[in-house]
Structure 1
Amino acid sequence: MTDDLSDLQVEVPKAPRRAFRQIDPGARAMVIAVCVMLMIVSALLPWVQSASGWQVLFGLAPKGTPIGLVPVLFAFCAMLFGVLVSGAALVTRLWALSFAAAAGCGFSLVTSLLAVWSQQSTSSHEPGPGPGIGIILGLLTLIVLTFQWVKLTFARD
Protein backbone atom coordinates (compact mmCIF):
# COMPACT_ATOMS: atom_id res chain seq x y z
CA MET A 1 0.00 0.00 0.00
CA THR A 2 2.76 2.47 0.88
CA ASP A 3 4.60 1.46 -2.27
CA ASP A 4 1.54 2.49 -4.32
CA LEU A 5 1.43 5.86 -2.56
CA SER A 6 5.11 6.50 -3.16
CA ASP A 7 4.62 5.71 -6.87
CA LEU A 8 1.70 8.12 -6.91
CA GLN A 9 3.80 10.83 -5.26
CA VAL A 10 6.36 10.42 -8.04
CA GLU A 11 3.79 10.39 -10.87
CA VAL A 12 1.58 13.31 -9.81
CA PRO A 13 4.22 16.05 -10.24
CA LYS A 14 5.06 14.70 -13.70
CA ALA A 15 1.45 14.78 -14.96
CA PRO A 16 1.28 18.49 -15.98
CA ARG A 17 4.57 18.24 -17.86
CA ARG A 18 3.42 15.09 -19.66
CA ALA A 19 0.11 16.74 -20.56
CA PHE A 20 1.95 19.81 -21.82
CA ARG A 21 4.08 17.73 -24.21
CA GLN A 22 1.13 15.93 -25.77
CA ILE A 23 -1.61 16.89 -28.21
CA ASP A 24 -5.17 15.66 -28.55
CA PRO A 25 -6.04 15.59 -32.26
CA GLY A 26 -9.66 14.58 -31.73
CA ALA A 27 -11.56 14.45 -35.01
CA ARG A 28 -8.59 15.94 -36.88
CA ALA A 29 -6.81 12.60 -36.44
CA MET A 30 -9.12 11.02 -39.02
CA VAL A 31 -8.60 13.84 -41.51
CA ILE A 32 -4.83 13.64 -41.08
CA ALA A 33 -4.86 9.84 -41.40
CA VAL A 34 -6.85 10.06 -44.64
CA CYS A 35 -4.41 12.68 -45.94
CA VAL A 36 -1.45 10.43 -45.14
CA MET A 37 -3.13 7.65 -47.14
CA LEU A 38 -3.78 10.07 -50.01
CA MET A 39 -0.10 11.04 -50.00
CA ILE A 40 0.78 7.37 -50.45
CA VAL A 41 -1.78 7.05 -53.25
CA SER A 42 -0.38 10.16 -54.95
CA ALA A 43 3.07 8.52 -54.98
CA LEU A 44 1.59 5.65 -57.01
CA LEU A 45 0.07 7.95 -59.66
CA PRO A 46 1.93 9.67 -62.54
CA TRP A 47 3.86 12.82 -61.59
CA VAL A 48 6.18 13.63 -64.49
CA GLN A 49 4.92 12.31 -67.83
CA SER A 50 4.59 8.56 -67.19
CA ALA A 51 6.86 8.43 -64.11
CA SER A 52 5.03 7.87 -60.83
CA GLY A 53 5.92 9.63 -57.60
CA TRP A 54 7.85 6.71 -56.15
CA GLN A 55 9.86 6.43 -59.41
CA VAL A 56 10.67 10.14 -59.16
CA LEU A 57 11.66 9.72 -55.51
CA PHE A 58 14.00 6.78 -56.08
CA GLY A 59 15.33 7.85 -59.51
CA LEU A 60 13.73 4.91 -61.33
CA ALA A 61 11.89 6.90 -64.01
CA PRO A 62 11.75 5.43 -67.53
CA LYS A 63 14.62 6.39 -69.81
CA GLY A 64 14.06 9.65 -71.63
CA THR A 65 11.80 11.13 -68.97
CA PRO A 66 13.26 14.52 -68.06
CA ILE A 67 12.92 14.91 -64.29
CA GLY A 68 14.32 18.03 -62.71
CA LEU A 69 15.51 18.56 -59.17
CA VAL A 70 12.31 20.24 -57.95
CA PRO A 71 9.98 17.22 -58.42
CA VAL A 72 12.56 15.02 -56.69
CA LEU A 73 12.77 17.48 -53.79
CA PHE A 74 8.98 17.56 -53.58
CA ALA A 75 8.77 13.76 -53.62
CA PHE A 76 11.31 13.54 -50.80
CA CYS A 77 9.66 16.24 -48.67
CA ALA A 78 6.14 14.90 -49.28
CA MET A 79 7.05 11.38 -48.22
CA LEU A 80 9.18 12.52 -45.29
CA PHE A 81 6.82 15.10 -43.79
CA GLY A 82 3.47 14.15 -45.32
CA VAL A 83 3.75 10.44 -44.53
CA LEU A 84 6.51 9.63 -42.02
CA VAL A 85 6.49 12.63 -39.68
CA SER A 86 2.71 13.03 -39.87
CA GLY A 87 2.19 9.36 -39.12
CA ALA A 88 4.67 9.44 -36.24
CA ALA A 89 3.02 12.54 -34.79
CA LEU A 90 -0.39 10.88 -34.94
CA VAL A 91 0.85 7.73 -33.27
CA THR A 92 2.92 9.36 -30.52
CA ARG A 93 0.77 12.51 -30.08
CA LEU A 94 3.87 14.48 -29.17
CA TRP A 95 3.64 18.24 -29.64
CA ALA A 96 7.21 18.47 -30.95
CA LEU A 97 6.43 16.02 -33.75
CA SER A 98 3.20 17.82 -34.59
CA PHE A 99 5.16 21.06 -34.82
CA ALA A 100 7.71 19.36 -37.09
CA ALA A 101 4.85 18.01 -39.22
CA ALA A 102 3.29 21.49 -39.50
CA ALA A 103 6.59 23.13 -40.47
CA GLY A 104 7.60 20.29 -42.78
CA CYS A 105 4.24 20.13 -44.54
CA GLY A 106 4.40 23.91 -45.01
CA PHE A 107 7.82 23.60 -46.63
CA SER A 108 6.59 20.65 -48.71
CA LEU A 109 3.66 22.77 -49.86
CA VAL A 110 6.08 25.37 -51.24
CA THR A 111 8.11 22.67 -53.01
CA SER A 112 4.89 21.21 -54.45
CA LEU A 113 3.94 24.56 -55.97
CA LEU A 114 7.42 24.83 -57.46
CA ALA A 115 7.18 21.26 -58.78
CA VAL A 116 3.88 21.98 -60.52
CA TRP A 117 5.31 25.19 -61.96
CA SER A 118 8.44 23.40 -63.17
CA GLN A 119 6.28 20.92 -65.10
CA GLN A 120 4.34 23.70 -66.80
CA SER A 121 7.30 25.73 -68.00
CA THR A 122 10.35 25.14 -70.18
CA SER A 123 13.36 27.15 -71.28
CA SER A 124 11.78 27.66 -74.71
CA HIS A 125 8.48 29.35 -75.45
CA GLU A 126 6.76 25.98 -75.71
CA PRO A 127 4.62 24.79 -72.78
CA GLY A 128 5.97 22.03 -70.58
CA PRO A 129 4.57 18.51 -70.39
CA GLY A 130 2.31 19.52 -67.50
CA PRO A 131 2.01 18.03 -64.04
CA GLY A 132 0.62 14.54 -63.61
CA ILE A 133 -2.46 13.73 -61.55
CA GLY A 134 -0.30 12.42 -58.71
CA ILE A 135 1.57 15.68 -58.24
CA ILE A 136 -1.73 17.60 -58.24
CA LEU A 137 -3.22 15.19 -55.67
CA GLY A 138 -0.08 15.58 -53.55
CA LEU A 139 -0.37 19.37 -53.71
CA LEU A 140 -4.03 19.38 -52.68
CA THR A 141 -3.40 16.87 -49.91
CA LEU A 142 -0.51 18.92 -48.56
CA ILE A 143 -2.73 22.01 -48.40
CA VAL A 144 -5.17 20.13 -46.17
CA LEU A 145 -2.39 18.50 -44.12
CA THR A 146 -0.60 21.80 -43.53
CA PHE A 147 -3.72 23.57 -42.30
CA GLN A 148 -4.71 20.64 -40.09
CA TRP A 149 -1.28 20.45 -38.46
CA VAL A 150 -1.01 24.22 -38.00
CA LYS A 151 -4.44 24.40 -36.36
CA LEU A 152 -3.67 21.44 -34.14
CA THR A 153 -0.20 22.61 -33.17
CA PHE A 154 -1.13 26.16 -32.25
CA ALA A 155 -4.47 25.36 -30.59
CA ARG A 156 -2.68 24.07 -27.51
CA ASP A 157 -3.48 25.71 -24.17
Structure 2
Amino acid sequence: MSESPVPEELTQLDAELRGVTRRVERRIDPGPTAVIVSIAMLVVIGALLLPWSGSTRGWEILAGEASFGVLPRLFTFTALGIGVFGSALALATRRWGLAWVCAVGCGISVVNGVWAIWSRQIGVPQGGSGAAPGLILTVLAVLLLSVSWVRIALRR
Protein backbone atom coordinates (compact mmCIF):
# COMPACT_ATOMS: atom_id res chain seq x y z
CA MET A 1 0.00 0.00 0.00
CA SER A 2 1.50 3.34 -0.97
CA GLU A 3 1.02 6.50 1.03
CA SER A 4 -0.73 9.35 -0.66
CA PRO A 5 1.09 12.71 -0.65
CA VAL A 6 -0.25 15.49 1.55
CA PRO A 7 -2.58 17.71 -0.43
CA GLU A 8 -1.35 21.22 -1.17
CA GLU A 9 -4.26 22.77 0.73
CA LEU A 10 -3.24 21.03 3.96
CA THR A 11 0.36 22.17 3.58
CA GLN A 12 -0.79 25.78 3.13
CA LEU A 13 -3.14 25.49 6.11
CA ASP A 14 -0.34 24.13 8.28
CA ALA A 15 1.97 27.02 7.29
CA GLU A 16 -0.79 29.54 7.99
CA LEU A 17 -1.51 28.04 11.42
CA ARG A 18 2.20 28.19 12.33
CA GLY A 19 2.24 31.88 11.35
CA VAL A 20 -0.82 32.61 13.48
CA THR A 21 0.76 30.82 16.44
CA ARG A 22 3.91 32.97 16.16
CA ARG A 23 1.85 36.18 16.02
CA VAL A 24 -0.23 35.18 19.04
CA GLU A 25 2.88 34.34 21.08
CA ARG A 26 4.19 37.89 20.60
CA ARG A 27 0.98 39.54 21.84
CA ILE A 28 -0.12 40.50 25.34
CA ASP A 29 -3.50 40.93 26.94
CA PRO A 30 -3.20 43.70 29.53
CA GLY A 31 -6.67 42.97 30.90
CA PRO A 32 -7.88 45.25 33.70
CA THR A 33 -4.31 46.45 34.30
CA ALA A 34 -4.69 48.54 31.13
CA VAL A 35 -7.03 50.86 33.06
CA ILE A 36 -4.38 51.34 35.77
CA VAL A 37 -1.76 52.05 33.10
CA SER A 38 -4.05 54.59 31.43
CA ILE A 39 -4.78 56.38 34.70
CA ALA A 40 -1.08 56.49 35.60
CA MET A 41 -0.33 57.96 32.17
CA LEU A 42 -2.89 60.71 32.79
CA VAL A 43 -1.36 61.38 36.22
CA VAL A 44 2.08 61.82 34.62
CA ILE A 45 0.64 64.29 32.10
CA GLY A 46 -1.27 66.15 34.80
CA ALA A 47 1.75 66.25 37.12
CA LEU A 48 3.71 68.11 34.44
CA LEU A 49 1.33 71.02 35.10
CA LEU A 50 2.08 71.00 38.85
CA PRO A 51 5.09 72.62 40.54
CA TRP A 52 8.18 70.39 40.59
CA SER A 53 10.49 72.67 42.54
CA GLY A 54 9.37 75.93 44.06
CA SER A 55 6.97 77.47 41.58
CA THR A 56 8.61 75.90 38.52
CA ARG A 57 6.28 73.48 36.77
CA GLY A 58 7.29 70.20 35.15
CA TRP A 59 6.57 71.32 31.61
CA GLU A 60 8.92 74.29 32.10
CA ILE A 61 11.72 71.90 33.02
CA LEU A 62 10.83 69.72 30.01
CA ALA A 63 10.91 72.72 27.67
CA GLY A 64 14.22 73.92 29.10
CA GLU A 65 12.77 77.20 30.34
CA ALA A 66 14.04 76.52 33.86
CA SER A 67 17.56 75.40 34.65
CA PHE A 68 17.39 72.81 37.38
CA GLY A 69 20.22 70.54 36.37
CA VAL A 70 20.35 67.44 34.25
CA LEU A 71 18.55 64.96 36.54
CA PRO A 72 15.10 66.60 36.69
CA ARG A 73 15.23 67.29 32.96
CA LEU A 74 16.28 63.70 32.19
CA PHE A 75 13.42 62.47 34.34
CA THR A 76 10.89 64.59 32.44
CA PHE A 77 12.08 63.06 29.16
CA THR A 78 12.02 59.47 30.43
CA ALA A 79 8.69 59.87 32.25
CA LEU A 80 7.00 61.41 29.24
CA GLY A 81 8.78 59.37 26.57
CA ILE A 82 8.58 55.92 28.09
CA GLY A 83 5.87 56.40 30.68
CA VAL A 84 3.35 58.08 28.41
CA PHE A 85 4.28 57.59 24.75
CA GLY A 86 5.85 54.15 25.18
CA SER A 87 2.92 52.95 27.28
CA ALA A 88 0.41 54.27 24.74
CA LEU A 89 2.25 52.49 21.94
CA ALA A 90 2.45 49.25 23.93
CA LEU A 91 -1.25 49.37 24.79
CA ALA A 92 -2.19 50.10 21.18
CA THR A 93 -0.02 47.40 19.60
CA ARG A 94 -0.18 44.87 22.47
CA ARG A 95 3.35 43.69 21.68
CA TRP A 96 5.13 41.64 24.32
CA GLY A 97 8.50 43.21 23.52
CA LEU A 98 7.12 46.72 23.97
CA ALA A 99 5.64 45.70 27.32
CA TRP A 100 9.12 44.71 28.48
CA VAL A 101 10.63 47.91 27.09
CA CYS A 102 8.06 49.90 29.08
CA ALA A 103 8.68 47.84 32.22
CA VAL A 104 12.45 48.31 32.09
CA GLY A 105 12.26 51.90 30.83
CA CYS A 106 9.82 52.93 33.55
CA GLY A 107 12.05 51.24 36.13
CA ILE A 108 15.00 53.28 34.90
CA SER A 109 12.80 56.37 34.93
CA VAL A 110 11.88 55.74 38.58
CA VAL A 111 15.58 55.70 39.45
CA ASN A 112 16.00 58.96 37.51
CA GLY A 113 13.05 60.43 39.41
CA VAL A 114 14.41 59.46 42.81
CA TRP A 115 17.74 61.00 41.82
CA ALA A 116 15.89 64.13 40.67
CA ILE A 117 14.17 64.39 44.07
CA TRP A 118 17.49 63.82 45.80
CA SER A 119 19.19 66.49 43.67
CA ARG A 120 16.50 68.99 44.69
CA GLN A 121 16.96 68.16 48.40
CA ILE A 122 20.76 68.31 48.51
CA GLY A 123 22.24 71.72 49.11
CA VAL A 124 18.88 73.47 49.46
CA PRO A 125 19.40 76.40 51.81
CA GLN A 126 17.05 76.84 54.75
CA GLY A 127 13.77 78.12 53.37
CA GLY A 128 14.77 77.14 49.81
CA SER A 129 12.68 75.08 47.46
CA GLY A 130 13.16 71.33 47.36
CA ALA A 131 11.07 68.78 45.51
CA ALA A 132 7.48 69.91 45.08
CA PRO A 133 4.35 67.71 44.87
CA GLY A 134 4.40 67.46 41.06
CA LEU A 135 7.80 65.78 40.99
CA ILE A 136 6.89 63.35 43.76
CA LEU A 137 3.54 62.52 42.16
CA THR A 138 5.25 61.86 38.82
CA VAL A 139 7.75 59.48 40.42
CA LEU A 140 4.92 57.58 42.10
CA ALA A 141 2.93 57.38 38.84
CA VAL A 142 5.95 56.09 36.91
CA LEU A 143 6.58 53.55 39.69
CA LEU A 144 2.99 52.35 39.27
CA LEU A 145 3.54 52.15 35.50
CA SER A 146 6.70 50.09 36.00
CA VAL A 147 5.00 47.61 38.32
CA SER A 148 1.99 47.36 36.02
CA TRP A 149 4.11 46.70 32.92
CA VAL A 150 6.12 44.03 34.74
CA ARG A 151 2.87 42.32 35.75
CA ILE A 152 1.55 42.51 32.18
CA ALA A 153 4.77 41.22 30.62
CA LEU A 154 5.12 38.34 33.06
CA ARG A 155 1.54 37.22 32.49
CA ARG A 156 2.30 36.05 28.99
TM bin (shorter chain): 0.7 to 0.9
Instruction: Give, in angstroms, the shift of residue 111 of structure 1.
Output: 0.5
SS at match of 1:131: coil
Q: Deviations over 1:41-78 (max 9, x none)?
A: 011111122121111011123xxxx5111100111110
2:41 maps to which of 13, 18, 36: 36
Aligned partners of 1:8, 1:128: CA distance in 2, in Å? 70
Aligned partners of 2:127, 2:150: CA distance in 1, in Å? 35
Q: List 4+ stretches of structure 1 deviating above 2 A.
A: 4-11, 124-128
CA contact (8 A) 1:121 1:128 kept: no
1:18 maps to which of 10, 17, 23: 23
Question: Which residue identity is paired with 1:26?
Answer: G
Match of 1:118 in 2: 119
Match of 1:129 in 2: 129
CA contact (8 A) 1:99 1:149 kept: yes
Match of 1:85 in 2: 86
Aligned partners of 2:129, 2:75: CA distance in 1, in Å? 17
Unaligned runs of 5+ in 1: none
Percent same amino acid among aligned pairs? Answer: 39
Instruction: Give, in angstroms, the shift of residue 110 of structure 1.
Output: 0.1
Q: Deviations over 1:75-125 (max 9, x none)?
A: 111001110101100111001111110010000000010111111111x77
2:65 maps to which of 54, 60, 63: 60
Relative to structure 2, which stretch is displaced further, 102-111 or 12-21?
Answer: 12-21
CA contact (8 A) 1:81 1:104 kept: yes
Match of 1:51 in 2: 56
Aligned partners of 1:128, 1:147: CA distance in 2, in Å? 33
SS at match of 1:146: helix
Q: TM-score, normalised by structure 1?
A: 0.86
Q: What is the aligned-residue RMSD (CA, Å)? A: 2.0
Unaligned runs of 5+ in 2: 1-8
